[in-house]
Chain A
Amino acid sequence: MSSNVSGTSQQEFKWKARVSWLAGDRSTAYTRNNSFLIEKQASFKEKDPSPSAIEYLLGALGGDIAAGFNAVAPRFGVSIDALEISLSGQLNNSLALLGVIGESGHPGLETIEGRIYISAEAEEAVIEQVWRSVQARSPLLNTLKRCVDLNFSLVITM
């Protein structure tokens, strides 16, 4: 088996991130040779300048699905014209996140809803097969579905 990092097989590979707290709610995450800014656990304000941790999670899930389509579609002979994933997540209890005393529930994500819009020159049934295959091999979908109620729908557009 080829190795991703010297001396490590794909089977043993571990993904890494180092997160440095900057100040206030802001941190920088370093991953391989990349870095990105994270602001707050969850932001309720549109004008906050950087994405929050929850938004990174949603974005990561969407990116995972998009890359999955890109990897799987050619195997079914499908050429993708356009692909877009719209995601929204809801906490079990936002007030628990804010630390309101006496609130029941927890601040974890309760549901994630997603709309996958895809335009491809292929029969609907084949695109649905691709989507099933994407779900089967997606790392984040398979992680999250064990703890969050995931509700995705596929919208095929021309």
Chain B
Amino acid sequence: MKELPLFPVTTVGSWPRSVPLLRAQRQKQRGQLSQPDFAKLADAAVQEVLRRQEAAGVDFVTDGEQRRDNFYSFVTEKLAGVQLMTLAQMLEVVEDKAGFERILETLDVPAYAISNPTCIGPVKRLSPLALDEYLYTRSQTDRPIKVTLPGPYLLTRAMWVKEVAQKVYPSKEDLGEDVVKILKAEIQELIQAGADFIQLDEPVLTELVFTSGQTRTFMCAALSARADPTEELEFAVSLLNRVLEGAEAVRTGLHICRGNWSQKESTLLSGSYFPLVPYLNRINVRQLVLEYATPRAGELAALLGSENIRAEKELGLGVVNPRTPRIEPAETIVGRVKEALQYLPSRQIFLNPDCGFGTFSNRPMNSDEVAEAKLKTMVEAAAILRQEAAAIAY
């Protein structure tokens, strides 16, 4: 990979899908459209997303997760022993139906619109999760590529619908063993294929620390909550570190946010990363891809007060909110980065949005145009910062 500029600009992964692509995805799920026919449409969509990122001047591009229905349930068709269940179907099997209702109300979504990959048998990899996506993207761009994967804790929590999974795995921990094997193999194949950046998505981690005693918000976390978040966080650290073993050759990232399902900020989680710091310190990942564009994320000091994080991690600094139509001025972004520069050297800071622009394919947070404009303002900010850095060096 060629040398990166300072303050590389990237995305968190997803990009809004076009209406024809969404229709095609639905038809594929219903068996009315073949995989090759879907792939043709998705290939064209990926090309368009790449074109937009390149036009904006993004340094690390993604395929916009155009082939996925959401950031984690897409694994279903690539794994044996996993079935996609809508929440409407899950309502039939879960005991705490009233709890589910509270979540749906908070999210303002119908139960049919959210699908969960649910473990129904021994989980094994039938085909690569993201390798094919990467190889296609590689064939379409010469820019460095970020590949996103659902993290092992997210997948284990999502797949573990106790009422169904316990027939196969005695415990969530046993299921986690197979999830680790699958992700580890995937990461190694991506490294072999030349992926530049592999990001693991673990949004559920924030829920563990921010929803104590409150309505839960992320679907998968509703299913098997333990009373003690500390135990869950230890479990997450252990899964992540095992998946990351042998991945030192590639830039790895861990994305943690507070939800990306609604444009109503009040329905999303709030709180600084501070309670997660003791755990983030121990996760062997190179970059923390975090949201910092809204006050809900708290102060940078809460995270960067940690000497270990300052010394060992890069920060993917969230500087634009993917859910708002307003384009953040480049000067505001520059100001935010300068705050981070009080703690970190410039080579450790990347710029990205707080989250994807289309985490759930049927619930995009913005239009293509707004998303592209947000990328451009980040690129503009990066250019200002690079100029200032060059002037200081000179």
Contact check, A86 vs B105: say whether CB atoms are below 8 A apart. Answer: yes
| Cα–Cα distance between A157 and B113 once the two chains are bound (Å) | 8
Among A46, A84, A88, A158, point to the contact of B88 (Cβ < 8 A).
A84
* Min CB–CB distance B123 → chain A (angstroms): 27
Stretch of B19-27, B318-326, B335-343 with 4 or more beta carbons under 8 angstroms from chain A: B19-27
Residues of B within 8 Å of A119, CB to CB, are 26, 112-113, 362
Contacts across chains A and B counted by CB atoms under 8 Å: 37
Q: In chain B between 88 and 112, which residues have their CB closer than 8 angstroms to a CB of chain A?
A: 88, 98, 104-105, 108-112
Is B363 among interface residues, defined by CB-CB distance under 8 A? yes
- Beyond contacts A83-B112, A84-B88, A86-B105: 15 other A-B pairs, Cβ-Cβ < 8 A, are A82-B110, A82-B112, A82-B113, A84-B110, A84-B112, A86-B110, A88-B105, A115-B108, A117-B110, A119-B112, A119-B113, A121-B23, A157-B110, A158-B22, A158-B361
**Distance, CA A78 to CA B111, complexed state (A):** 21
Minimum Cβ distance to chain A for residue B275 (Å): 29
Specify the chain B residue showing the minimal Cβ separation from A81.
B26
Which residues does chain A contribute within 8 Å of B23, judged by CB atoms?
121, 158
Q: How far is the CA of A119 from the CA of B113 in the complex (A)?
A: 9
In the complex, what residues of A have CB within 8 A of residue B363's CB?
Answer: 157
- B272-316 vs A, CB cutoff 8 Å, 1 = contact: the mask equals 000000000000000000000000000000000000000000000
Cα-based distance from A1 to B242 in the complex (angstroms): 73
Give the nearest-CB partner of B86 in chain A: A82
Which residues of A are at the interface with B, using a C-beta cutoff of 8 A?
46, 81-84, 86, 88, 115, 117, 119, 121, 155, 157-158
In this complex, the interface size class of chain B, counting residues with CB under 8 Å from chain A, is 10 to 19
CB distance from A49 to the nearest CB of B (A): 12
Assess the B111–A84 pair: CB atoms within 8 A. Answer: yes
On chain B, the residues within 8 Å of A83 by CB distance are 112
The reply to whether A158 and B26 form a contact with Cβ atoms under 8 Å apart is yes
Min CB gap B181→A, angstroms:
34
Please, how many angstroms separate the alpha-carbon atoms of A82 and B113 in the complex? 9
CB distance from B261 to the nearest CB of A (A): 12
Q: Write the nearest CB–CB distance from A33 to chain B, whole angstroms.
A: 24
Q: Are A117 and B26 in touch, CB under 8 angstroms?
A: no
CA distance A37 to B39 in the complex (A): 50
Task: Determine whether the beta carbon of B112 is less than 8 Å from that of A46.
Answer: no
B9-37 contacts to A, CB under 8 A, are: 19, 22-23, 26
Residues of A contacting B104 in the complex (Cβ-Cβ under 8 angstroms): 86
A-B contact pairs, 28 of them (CB 8 A): A46-B98, A81-B26, A82-B88, A82-B110, A82-B112, A82-B113, A83-B112, A84-B88, A84-B110, A84-B112, A86-B104, A86-B105, A86-B110, A88-B105, A115-B108, A117-B112, A117-B113, A119-B26, A119-B113, A119-B362, A121-B23, A155-B110, A157-B113, A157-B362, A157-B363, A158-B19, A158-B22, A158-B362
